[in-house]
Structure 1
């Protein structure tokens, strides 16, 4: 009797055998099947049909109904999942099943209506003229020559999206599909609108977590059966099966949002390159500030670099960047007089200004000057942030919140004060400073859904706001023609952070937010406040010299032995007591398999920077090697040995390959 080998969505590194119907055959591979598990029933995916299993047939349970409402999942989907499972040390079933919409993992999948085809008769938009660099970039991507990776490095406003659209046009003309990945949901509406307007006769679907379950499944089905021509999605969309895939585009490829931070911790950008190689299609990675790993790959010849050095609008120029030395300037609520004067000038001219502060809430902390009490989170190693509009203290890490106390909980002093400033406090002060100005705050407190975000964008584009107060939500991917001034506050905090990636992230963030200014005919200006104006990062930023900054950072990383010149994985453990987490990590470091892999170096276990999160103490153990194959050979053996360790009941652990956070 044949046996189904079934992948289930479980944190176990094995497949499960079930008795298959007599009629089962190889054509069933890739279909979903209902199977008994424990006292209930689950939906799994048939990975193989074998003549026998690992267990005697009499010990196997019979599989239930094979679900045939969809074609079998294709072999290239399984190849990508297999790679991800092996490389990121994730259970195979978890990888396969997490790629499916929630409705398809139910024993009784609901009936869904299909994606509505585009309306006929909508004329396509007139194509803008390409610059010479844009035309060269489009011509350089050979769509019929198999696998290749291109880094589209273009300054902000250089027209990278137009290059994507021209490439998409060529792919669609060949009868193939396109996968376009973006890092965050708030970039999706504007880009989706532009793609739909350019290709009104084509079916465009979006895949991201903000979609309702029914819409997500409907769009996934359309992509899977070939009914969707363009799939626009966030990181999980990289696993979407596409039978006619002809091109993968990763926009803002440097963004850390492409890295999944729970479950299987994968990089969608890296998997995009792997998938393009497996299927034999080109991949285009676009950014004004590429990740240093991508920049190094382009410098070493693994990727081809395509450069857009000028803005696509011939009347627009890169903004002038002015560095303000705040050591010699008085500050009013964190803003220096020259920046206030620049805002006043824009108000007089009817132009828009953006004041960028990447810290939401009213103030980072509430404190008592009498006894030193500080609004610490009781669940995390972090402070509760004051949200005055809601009259709440809120933790931005675990979500815990409480009402603002009327007096100090420790000494009873009623004169407790907010310290520091967030976007709410800045908005309030600017409204008092410029009472006639229309001020719009854009952060995750004011924009909590896609619909709110679309309304906010419409207000900005229609000129209903004079001053924007925003966080990194406004730092990338947006085009506001009337925005001519960007003022940056609080940039110094990341300069000397413990994270060695902090300078790269700060430069990218500042370059991206600076790029919002002067994208049309109006000239742009960027004013950055800092106490360290001589820092090399600001020196490079002032002249838009990403290449010089990247070269210096890569030289430092090579000297220090950091990625991309070394390869890392981190074992993390969390438990109610830090001692238990550290003891588990020490036991993992002492396993015999470690000594058998001399090319892999294990550092001492240490607490994580956010040592306590949601009532759990967290520790980590870093594994590093100068050889990626050596590290990959070590990790599965180490993981298997760790699974055999005895641990406290409430201790949880996971492995992360190529970590971005420590």
Structure 2
């Protein structure tokens, strides 16, 4: 037999998703022995160019699949997992998301892994377990309430318990370390136990009213198939109780529940509701966790140990072997849309995941997005309405205050201040809302009208007075010291103009010296654990003023707040973004919904220079649903989303001319291929034309046919990326939510 007659030796190959900004997976060779052990969904170490990277196996190619003889494959460096850590459904979801949002598959898959797994660390990380050493240590902890509480919880677990469980119970790691120094407990590293906990009810459910019961029954009928529900419930109408009772039945069947909330700030109250109702394994998944805790929570979800997974938007990609229900609370919230890098929308991904996993998806909100109402209108989602507040609570009444004619002190009308004094004197709480952090939005010279502008952006500096006096650009992050004179005319009288939360706090302390003013914004909650302390303080039934930004508006339950004051709503009424009125209406209703959630009736006072604005009158005289109905009609008449599908190309460089010429050239190419199937707006300068020293331009693509829009964009977009100058940054935003 001739040597040439022998069949070629089989080449064992796998297709790997590698975290690079390229749109393909890459083939790597491996030995027959490794090929047998390798599983789709497992991690591998590979060499890519000059880098050593961690990839995920997406496909095992049959050895008899022919290979171009001119191609020389690299071999994988190491098989990092002996089993798949991303299951088939997870890989299908990630592949769909990469295709839908036109983003490199390797980076999408990479984003679904915890940081330690991305770095190639072993899966079986040891867990930190705390064990009590001294069961008679009451005297050693009597001076610290936190240590006393931690000690009591440790006594409930004589055999020891994991740090994650203790953290969920409100015990901070720093407190445990303090007890360790006193030799009251010790930390041990142990292999993680991934067996599920027995599930018990810790507390009986509340009695559902007829509307709640109808919603519960409707969702449970669909628990073994895909169906999307919009739980459209007034603020305080008991949406969470509906979630809990549905979750109870799903968990009883041995299924997992994924609950998404828009921001980390909502997790403390949500986790406490879940823990008081269910005795089962509950894990948190959000960016506030350190790397090891995030990995342990992710592993509890991936192995099926966790019955309830509570997280922010990225948790939608967590692998869950027994998923039985997805809940998105505050589904309208913009925080569910990722605004950088992989620009997915967790709400839309959740709907597709429910379809893949054949489980119901519940979107809950008091102010649903116009997109969700459109899905209901097109019978792609079932609407379940809750029209009455739970218990005896009544909806608050909205009062509009005309700032043009009102007597004012420090930007607040006298009528509002008088009403606040009445409520505080009755030992009630008042919530003051201003969506502008810092001390003042403008620093101006009283002599020549010079304003302190950021040198890198088309924006003013914001004045801050803590932790020291400085100027801060909230767009690019630039910080400058506070000038002692005007750089234009040398005048020394520089005046902070306008109101920020820090300045309002100062004025409220001056006007109401006998009452606590509790400020809640990004500056006051930046330290670890600070939001939980503030939240606990608010829950005490003592007269106080809560002052804050949007962080206070998102689904919190403040039972002692009877008056809400919205200081400035006008900026939302004047924006160029077609979604601005929707966002403003949602904000007004959500903030107003914090009032009167307990036994006492609530009132809302809204200050404005435009008291006759149609939006405000619709909200006062009718309700959010009527506003949404009108907005749907307007969007349909104007052929705006959701009645056409959109994609936004953002272009950024050091020259606006370069942006315009490049986008015009590629707009012409798209018109040639797509014809009338795609409507192209622009290129035009972005609303903030210059940001961080670079010029921003936009081009909007619209089509009534989503599939055609994506078809024409796909190759066109990748050609743009190949042809762009190296100094230019291009991003594609599918279904954009903001035009900034």
* CA distance in 2 between partners of 1:459 and 1:54 (Å): 67
* CA distance in 1 between partners of 2:24 and 2:493 (Å): 60
Q: Does 1:34 align with 2:63?
A: no
What TM-score do you get using the length of structure 1 for normalisation? 0.96
**CA contact under 8 A between 2:229 and 2:383: conserved in structure 1?**
yes
For 2:72, the equivalent position in structure 1 comes to 59
For 1:552, the equivalent position in structure 2 comes to 630
* CA distance in 2 between partners of 1:588 and 1:255 (Å): 33
Q: Does 1:10 align with 2:20?
A: yes
**CA contact under 8 A between 1:130 and 1:312: conserved in structure 2?**
no
For 2:335, the equivalent position in structure 1 comes to 257
**CA contact under 8 A between 2:80 and 2:120: conserved in structure 1?**
no
**CA contact under 8 A between 1:385 and 1:396: conserved in structure 2?**
yes
* CA distance in 2 between partners of 1:597 and 1:26 (Å): 50
Deviations 1:174-197 (A, max 9, x none): 110001011111111111121122
* CA distance in 2 between partners of 1:430 and 1:53 (Å): 76
**CA contact under 8 A between 2:396 and 2:595: conserved in structure 1?**
yes
Q: Does 1:659 align with 2:669?
A: no
Deviations 1:338-391 (A, max 9, x none): 100110001110100011111111100101122222111112121110012320
**CA contact under 8 A between 2:721 and 2:730: conserved in structure 1?**
no
* CA distance in 1 between partners of 2:707 and 2:670 (Å): 20
- Among 421, 428, 434, the alignment partner of 1:344 is 421
- Among 149, 152, 157, the alignment partner of 2:231 is 152
* CA distance in 2 between partners of 1:235 and 1:65 (Å): 32
- Among 653, 657, 667, the alignment partner of 1:575 is 653
- SS of the aligned residue for 1:358 comes to coil
Deviations 1:382-436 (A, max 9, x none): 1110012320111111111111111112221100111111111111111111111
- SS of the aligned residue for 2:576 comes to coil
- Among 117, 120, 123, the alignment partner of 1:104 is 117
- Among 495, 512, 523, the alignment partner of 1:445 is 523
- Pairs aligned (count): 659
* CA distance in 2 between partners of 1:545 and 1:356 (Å): 20
CA shift for structure 1 position 598: 2.6
**CA contact under 8 A between 2:199 and 2:278: conserved in structure 1?**
no
Deviations 1:457-479 (A, max 9, x none): 01111246611111111012111
Which of 136-145 and 170-179 deviates more? Answer: 136-145
- Among 44, 49, 54, the alignment partner of 1:43 is 54
* CA distance in 2 between partners of 1:635 and 1:616 (Å): 26
For 2:397, the equivalent position in structure 1 comes to 320
- SS of the aligned residue for 2:32 comes to coil
* CA distance in 2 between partners of 1:506 and 1:93 (Å): 37
Structure 1's 164 and 123: CA in aligned 2 closer, same or farther, altered over 3 A?
closer
Deviations 1:108-155 (A, max 9, x none): 447523594979999712322211111111001124441100000000
* CA distance in 2 between partners of 1:76 and 1:123 (Å): 30
* CA distance in 1 between partners of 2:16 and 2:671 (Å): 30
**CA contact under 8 A between 1:597 and 1:634: conserved in structure 2?**
no
Structure 1's 442 and 338: CA in aligned 2 closer, same or farther, altered over 3 A?
same
- Among 246, 270, 287, the alignment partner of 2:365 is 287
* CA distance in 2 between partners of 1:465 and 1:175 (Å): 45
* CA distance in 1 between partners of 2:379 and 2:104 (Å): 34
Q: Does 1:360 align with 2:437?
A: yes
* CA distance in 1 between partners of 2:587 and 2:375 (Å): 21
Higher-Rg structure is 2
For 1:186, the equivalent position in structure 2 comes to 265
For 2:676, the equivalent position in structure 1 comes to 598
CA shift for structure 1 position 156: 0.2
Alignment of 1:143-542 (within 5 A): 143-200=222-279, 202-313=280-391, 315-389=392-466, 390-463=468-541, 466-542=544-620
Structure 1 unaligned segments of length 5 or more: list them.
Answer: none
Please tell me the root mean square deviation across aligned C-alpha atoms, in Å: 1.9
* CA distance in 1 between partners of 2:400 and 2:267 (Å): 32
CA shift for structure 1 position 54: 6.1
* CA distance in 2 between partners of 1:464 and 1:603 (Å): 54
Alignment of 1:614-625 (within 5 A): 614-625=692-703
* CA distance in 2 between partners of 1:301 and 1:68 (Å): 44
**CA contact under 8 A between 1:459 and 1:465: conserved in structure 2?**
no
Which of 112-121 and 505-514 deviates more? Answer: 112-121
Which of 551-560 and 44-53 deviates more? Answer: 44-53
- SS of the aligned residue for 1:305 comes to strand
* CA distance in 1 between partners of 2:121 and 2:318 (Å): 22
Structure 2 unaligned segments of length 5 or more: list them.
Answer: 1-10, 129-161, 166-196
* CA distance in 1 between partners of 2:502 and 2:263 (Å): 23
Structure 1's 386 and 592: CA in aligned 2 closer, same or farther, altered over 3 A?
closer
**CA contact under 8 A between 1:407 and 1:414: conserved in structure 2?**
yes
Alignment of 1:81-92 (within 5 A): 81-92=94-105
**CA contact under 8 A between 2:595 and 2:604: conserved in structure 1?**
yes
For 2:184, the equivalent position in structure 1 comes to none
* CA distance in 2 between partners of 1:149 and 1:34 (Å): 39
Which of 462-471 and 497-506 deviates more? Answer: 462-471
- SS of the aligned residue for 2:421 comes to helix
CA shift for structure 1 position 27: 5.4
* CA distance in 1 between partners of 2:82 and 2:88 (Å): 18
Q: Does 1:642 align with 2:712?
A: no
* CA distance in 2 between partners of 1:190 and 1:70 (Å): 36
CA shift for structure 1 position 198: 1.0
- SS of the aligned residue for 1:656 comes to strand
For 2:144, the equivalent position in structure 1 comes to none
**CA contact under 8 A between 1:593 and 1:638: conserved in structure 2?**
no
**CA contact under 8 A between 1:321 and 1:543: conserved in structure 2?**
no
Which of 395-404 and 154-163 deviates more? Answer: 395-404
CA shift for structure 1 position 219: 0.5
* CA distance in 1 between partners of 2:49 and 2:384 (Å): 55
What TM-score do you get using the length of structure 2 for normalisation? 0.86
